[in-house]
Amino acid sequence: MAKKGNKTSRPREASGIRKGRFKGGMDPEFASFNASISFDKRLYKEDIQGTIAHVTMLAAQGIIDPDEGRIIQDGLTQVLGDIEKGRLEFRDDLEDIHINIEEALRAKIGDIAGKAHTARSRNDQVALDLRMYIRNQSRLIMRELMAVAEGLIAKSENSLDLIMPGYTHLQRAQPVRLSHHLMAYFQMFRRDWERFRDATVRMDEMPLGSAALAGTTFPIDRDMVAELLDFSRVTSNSMDSVADRDFAAEFLFNSCMVMMHLSRLAEELILWSSSEFGFCSLPDAFCSGSSIMPQKKNPDACELIRAKTGRVYGDLIALLTVLKALPLAYNKDLQEDKEPVFDATDTVHGSLTIMSGLIAGLEFDGDRMLNAASDPQIAATDLADRLVQEGIPFREAHARVGAMIRSQTESTKIRFGSVPSPEEMVEARRHRGGTGRAGVIGQIREAKAFLKKNAEKRTPETSHSG
């Protein structure tokens, strides 16, 4: 392994892909600056699957000898096994995952290994690997989104008759069912799920065959490779294929939306579990204590989700900024696409998993919530609505109730005469999408139908093991 900062270790002979064009080895500082293996080793499985499919096609097309094709494939399967057993030591001086795997293959089968790269470049290779990686991760995230959605539905069903204040401007506004509030989050995660699904459909194009940028002189069969790797179609333009990272940016944007939704929910849980609200308690297993204040049970999980949202936004901006001034086609800048994608992937997986656990362990205090929802001021809209039923225009009714509240606020105690109960108020909103019992039951029914319909479509994490 090339040692960082060891200026004396520059190899005098050029080797690997430098053999031929270069007079000597790389400056060791530059070698480590240039290398991506420390992070792109994550793509090992996709890289090997892609190469196996490519070699299958090369042999089928008579571009390489079928026996050599089989030797390469067996060798790659062994390399995969070695990596998975932790037996392959990745080398910084071999730059990236592609060269590391090629060299590991050469160590097993000799120079035939070099034939796998016929009609291919690392440019289309890495474009393929990242697409496959993002496809797999999107499917995992979709599953995790479904788990969060299921948790929200279960809590909503169990708390159908708990009533709480609904808020605008974080001021008590109108009473709502807790289930109605929770199902609002279901809608967000449902849209997130759909967004990932839409993106995976859009990115379902196989870029291999584009080679460096212009395509290849060999008689390749791109459709065959697409089919072997479970892509629906091949990309249409070789230059776009090696330069395009739209799918990665879209993945990051979708990740930002998930994090933003999780962060809003986390913020509510922080508020609700505070002594000021006292609406719920978070499961002990997801809280931590204070080193000095024995009474503290801190909502760290929620706070971390809220904060990590920022780093995922940063990941999106980092990639968009890398892309914004790149001329066609491949530029080494594109190597900087991976760390944001990996960081966002880890953060979204972690946050969704933690949120599932939090939701499952939430305990609500129905009395505290009802008490807060029994604040007479919260009935103001309903009182105005009553006046409207007596024929008074709404704007006038609004002013009259407002004036009554102002005079009573001045006399500190609010008395409204016959104020509707929180139960009456939520039940008065019995249309579709409203907080009435039937409306919420309808939402839950639709949500379950959504889960059922899409559960069938949940695809395995990796569609081809090679």
What is the binding site for ligand ARG (CB under 6 A)? 36, 40, 96, 122-123, 126, 330, 332, 334-335
The one catalytic residue among 169, 275, 291, 418: 169
Nearer to ligand ARG, 122 or 437 (CB): 122
The Cβ of residue 147 has, within 10 Å, a number of other Cβ atoms equal to: 17
**Is 183 in a helix, a strand, or coil?**
helix
The Cβ of residue 20 has, within 10 Å, a number of other Cβ atoms equal to: 6
Phi, psi of 364 (to 5 degrees): -100, 150
Nearer to ligand ARG, 34 or 421 (CB): 34
Q: How far apart are CA 151 and CA 29, in angstroms?
A: 50
Nearer to ligand ARG, 21 or 453 (CB): 21
Q: How far apart are CA 70 and CA 99, in angstroms?
A: 20
Nearer to ligand ARG, 150 or 337 (CB): 337
CB of 20 to ligand ARG, least distance (A): 15
CB of 122 to ligand ARG, least distance (A): 4
Q: How far apart are CA 315 and CA 248, in angstroms?
A: 11
Pairing relation of β-strands 171-177 and 163-168? antiparallel
Q: Give me the helices (H) in 113-245, please.
A: 122-158, 178-202, 222-228, 238-243
CB of 466 to ligand ARG, least distance (A): 21
Nearer to ligand ARG, 268 or 337 (CB): 337
Nearer to ligand ARG, 91 or 368 (CB): 91
CB of 19 to ligand ARG, least distance (A): 16
Q: Whose structure tokens read 């009609």?
A: 119
The Cβ of residue 144 has, within 10 Å, a number of other Cβ atoms equal to: 21
Active site residue 169: yes
Q: Where are the beta strands (DSSP E) in 196-264?
A: 205-206, 233-234
The one catalytic residue among 9, 38, 290, 465: 290
Q: How far apart are CA 97 and CA 79, in angstroms?
A: 12
Nearer to ligand ARG, 21 or 332 (CB): 332
Q: How far apart are CA 248 and CA 265, in angstroms?
A: 26
CB of 91 to ligand ARG, least distance (A): 14
CB of 126 to ligand ARG, least distance (A): 4
CB of 40 to ligand ARG, least distance (A): 6
Q: Whose structure tokens read 């400056």?
A: 27
User: How far is residue 209 from each of residues 123, 124, 270, 296, 433, measured CA to CA in Å?
Assistant: 10, 7, 51, 59, 50
Are 305 and 262 in contact by the 8 Å Cβ rule? The answer is yes
Q: How far apart are CA 342 and CA 39, in angstroms?
A: 8
The 8-class DSSP code of residue 115 comes to: G
Annotated catalytic sites, by residue?
169, 290
